[in-house]
Amino acid sequence: MRRNFYRISFTALALAAAGTFAYAAPQAAVQELAKQQQQPLLDTLKDLVHIESGSKDVEGVKQIAEYVAGKLRAQGGKVEVIPATDVYRLDDTPEQVGPMVHAEYKGKGTSRIMLIAHMDTVYLKGMIKDQPFRVEGDKAYGLGISDDKQGVALIIHVVEMLKKLGYEDYGTLTVLINGDEEISSPGARSTITRLGAEQDAVFSFEGGGTDGSLRLATSGIGAAYLKVTGKASHAGAKPEDGVNALYELSHQLLQMKELSKPQSGLKLNWTVSKAGTNRNVIPAEATAQADARALRVADFSALEETMKQKVSNKLLPEAKVDLKFEVRRPPLEANEVGRSLAKYAQGIYEKELQIPMKVVDKATGGGTDAAFAALKAKGGVIEGFGLSGYGAHSNNAEYVQINTIVPRLYLATRMIQDISAGKAK
């Protein structure tokens, strides 16, 4: 009896130690494969950087989409290049927007995981000559390399790692690469939201900043447009025959100056205005634009409703006042599933790789596609799985840190494995 007790106790201790070791030391096969993928990833990144793909350069976006689709198709995915059809028209949306690349890999398990990034950039065609891909020390430079071609390359090589590992214990692994993110995703937002709602986890591969933090919240970005139509008349001889659109616009802006609630992260600031054509003409039209920010999705809806009520109160009854409000990006709001998954990812980084990692659950900076993925999601959505870097939207300093390639490949692969095994919850 005593001998059996010792045997059971020893077995229990051995299993406990094995479990601790599995989380406390890097998995050798995954880590070695990540190291092997570093140079191929840099080669892919060079190819991506040298395909110019500004958001409004639709042909360039189509070209990079075909490149990405070819890579994912070679890895056994069901891949399609999806043209944008359900376009949410914003004030600056071009007539045509670029396509998306959608890939799906069927596994043997039940987990549903999606990886997202974007392949468009803010740069104009021809600017590549000023900053082609180059490596200097531990940095790789190039237009769009940080925002977000590194994210596209990482996803391609995470999928490649899973293939080389023979890992198929997920249920579905979905990849969505957006082609219009830099112009607020008018063509991709509905697809991202629809697919995001079906997932247990969504990992967005925007850059991890300079410190590799994961992010659970981002601010929402909105815009408001006021247009006042009045009636022109001679400002000296017959001003009373006119309807001064500038007066009405001023009234509207003043009665909305208190709508910001900085303590809760809601901000509304009027930033651009225009009125009149000549000094001696009562202005028949006046316009203004505002920048809006919010930390909660509901705050934008409430703000728009309040603004609609305000504009009905006019200074000049004969004036016509039109209000348009756009949600350019909703806020990404942290949920408990996301917090739990991010904490697990932090454990992998710190305990297996011995690399410190911060998890930020308060909104900082601008919005991303992760917010669209989270709009109807029940699973966790985490932003910042990309490489560390700096200089996004800069035409002479955008780079990524090469020494973050292996850790980021390792992290994403391990998260997919452990979510699929039911360990990361």
Are residues 44 and 71 in contact, defined by beta-carbon separation less than 8 angstroms?
yes
**In which band, very low, low, confident or very high, does the pLDDT at 212 lie, cut at 50, 70 and 90?**
very high
Q: Give pLDDT tens digits for 154-198.
A: 999 999 999 999 999 999 999 999 999 999 999 999 999 999 999
Q: Give pLDDT tens digits for 361-413.
A: 988 667 899 999 999 999 999 999 999 999 888 877 899 999 999 999 999 99
Relative orientation angle of helices 150-165 and 58-74, to the nearest 10 degrees:
10
Q: Looking at the structure, do residues 301 and 314 belong to the same domain, yes or no?
A: yes
Catalytic residue numbers, as ranges = 120, 181
The answer as to whether 21 is a domain residue is: no
Q: Can you give the pLDDT at residue 1?
A: 44
The answer as to whether 283 is a domain residue is: yes
Burial 18-35 (b: 16+ CB within 10 A, else e): eeeeeeeebbeebbebbe
User: Does the pLDDT at position 200 exceed 90?
Assistant: yes
Q: Looking at the structure, do residues 107 and 36 belong to the same domain, yes or no?
A: yes
- What average pLDDT does range 91-113 have in this prediction? 97
Q: What is the mean pLDDT of the chain?
A: 93
Q: Can you give the pLDDT at residue 348?
A: 97
Q: Measuring CA to CA, which residue among 257, 266, 272 is closest to residue 226?
A: 272
Q: Looking at the structure, do residues 62 and 151 belong to the same domain, yes or no?
A: yes
For the chain, how many structural domains are there in total? 2
Q: How far apart are CA 265 and CA 261, in angstroms?
A: 6
- Boundary-marking domain end, from 326, 341, 376: 326
The answer as to whether 425 is a domain residue is: no
pLDDT above 90 as % of the chain: 88
**In which band, very low, low, confident or very high, does the pLDDT at 130 lie, cut at 50, 70 and 90?**
confident
**In which band, very low, low, confident or very high, does the pLDDT at 129 lie, cut at 50, 70 and 90?**
confident
pLDDT above 70 as % of the chain: 94
Please provide the DSSP assignment of 185-248 as one string.
Answer: -TTTHHHHHHHHTT-SEEEE-S--TTTT-EES-B-EEEEEEEEEE-B--BTTT-GGGSB-HHHH
Q: Looking at the structure, do residues 181 and 127 belong to the same domain, yes or no?
A: yes
Q: Can you give the pLDDT at residue 392?
A: 85
- What average pLDDT does range 345-367 have in this prediction? 91
Q: Looking at the structure, do residues 285 and 370 belong to the same domain, yes or no?
A: no
Q: Looking at the structure, do residues 73 and 126 belong to the same domain, yes or no?
A: yes
Residue 354, CB half-sphere, CA atoms under 13 Å: how many?
3
Q: Can you give the pLDDT at residue 13?
A: 39
Q: Can you give the pLDDT at residue 25?
A: 78
The answer as to whether 414 is a domain residue is: yes
Q: Looking at the structure, do residues 135 and 35 belong to the same domain, yes or no?
A: yes
Q: Give pLDDT tens digits for 214-232.
A: 999 999 999 999 999 999 9
The answer as to whether 206 is a domain residue is: yes
Q: What is the 3-state secondary structure (H, E, C) of 134-155?
A: EEECCEEECCCHHHHHHHHHHH
Sheet holding 389-390, edge to edge: 134-136, 139-141, 399-401, 389-390
**In which band, very low, low, confident or very high, does the pLDDT at 19 lie, cut at 50, 70 and 90?**
very low
**In which band, very low, low, confident or very high, does the pLDDT at 23 lie, cut at 50, 70 and 90?**
low
User: Does the pLDDT at position 3 exceed 70?
Assistant: no
User: Does the pLDDT at position 342 exceed 50?
Assistant: yes
Q: Looking at the structure, do residues 197 and 79 belong to the same domain, yes or no?
A: yes
Q: Can you give the pLDDT at residue 185?
A: 97
In the block, tokens 């005593």 appear at 2
Q: Can you give the pLDDT at residue 138?
A: 97
Q: How far is CA 93 from the centre of its chain?
A: 18
- Boundary-marking domain end, from 294, 326, 358: 326
- Boundary-marking domain end, from 326, 354, 387: 326
Task: Tell me the residue range of the domain where 403 lies.
Answer: 27-218+332-420
Q: Looking at the structure, do residues 177 and 318 belong to the same domain, yes or no?
A: no
Are residues 71 and 156 in contact, defined by beta-carbon separation less than 8 angstroms?
yes
The answer as to whether 1 is a domain residue is: no
Q: Can you give the pLDDT at residue 314?
A: 98
Cβ neighbours of residue 72 under 8 Å, at least 6 residues apart?
79, 101, 103, 156, 159, 175
The answer as to whether 180 is a domain residue is: yes
Q: Looking at the structure, do residues 343 and 357 belong to the same domain, yes or no?
A: yes
- What average pLDDT does range 199-206 have in this prediction? 98
The answer as to whether 412 is a domain residue is: yes
Question: β-strand 399-401 against 139-141: which pairing, if any?
Answer: antiparallel
Q: How far apart are CA 61 and CA 183, in angstroms?
A: 13
Q: CATH number for the domain including 106?
A: 3.40.630.10
Q: CATH number for the domain including 267?
A: 3.30.70.360
Q: Give pLDDT tens digits for 286-299.
A: 999 999 999 999 99
Relative orientation angle of helices 150-165 and 28-49, to the nearest 10 degrees:
140
The residue that leads in pLDDT, 12 or 262, is: 262
User: Does the pLDDT at position 21 exceed 80?
Assistant: no
Q: Looking at the structure, do residues 198 and 127 belong to the same domain, yes or no?
A: yes
- What average pLDDT does range 345-365 have in this prediction? 93
Q: Looking at the structure, do residues 31 and 161 belong to the same domain, yes or no?
A: yes
